[in-house]
Amino acid sequence: MVGFTKLGEGLPVDQIGEVTGRFAEIVADVVEPPVRLVKLIGDAAMLVSRRPEPLLEAALGLLEAVAEEGPGFPPLRIGATWGAAISRGGDWFGRPINLASRLTTAARPSSLLIDEALRDAVVPDGFEFSDAGHKNLKGIGSVHVLRVRRAPLPSDPFRRH
């Protein structure tokens, strides 16, 4: 969540609990197999999937669901990657996990940033990718990143205007 630390400094703990509780509900509503919620960390969620398209669908669904909460709810920024990682003790480790965390930090509010490996793994139907340049990510270095949005629905050539 964007600005969560500042928000936490200005609200009573029970109101922060309401925000994080609502965030947990949103995640539970959006995430469905084959995407799996690994953990919630206050203002963040870690998701994994063995298939890239459902992962992007879940990420975009989270952005949309949070936007529907209205201006009083903190927007999200999301980073996602693709690659080999390992699960130990209920958590996940590896370069893709570290990279996703850094991409999340680099993303603009209400946006999803991915690396080229995820873009290359995705069947692009339903997604629109735009170049976000190279980001110098702490501990990782320069990475070419892309923004992801839902592709606009094709217009129906037989529909009357």
CATH number of 4-150: 3.30.70.1230
Domain regions of the chain by residue span: 4-150
Query: pLDDT band at 85, cuts 50/70/90?
Result: very high
Please provide the size of the chain in residues: 161
In this prediction, residue 65 carries a pLDDT of: 98
pLDDT in tens, 33-75: 999 999 999 899 999 999 999 999 999 999 999 999 998 899 9
In this prediction, residue 157 carries a pLDDT of: 58
Residue 65 structure tokens: 């669901």
In this prediction, residue 156 carries a pLDDT of: 55
Q: Which residue has the higher pLDDT, 14 or 40?
A: 40
Query: pLDDT band at 98, cuts 50/70/90?
Result: very high
- Separation between Cα atoms, residue 115 and residue 106, nearest integer Å: 12
Average pLDDT over residues 80-100: 96
* pTM listed for this prediction: 0.90
Specify whether the backbone of 39 is left (phi greater than 0), alpha (psi in -120 to 50) or beta. Answer: beta
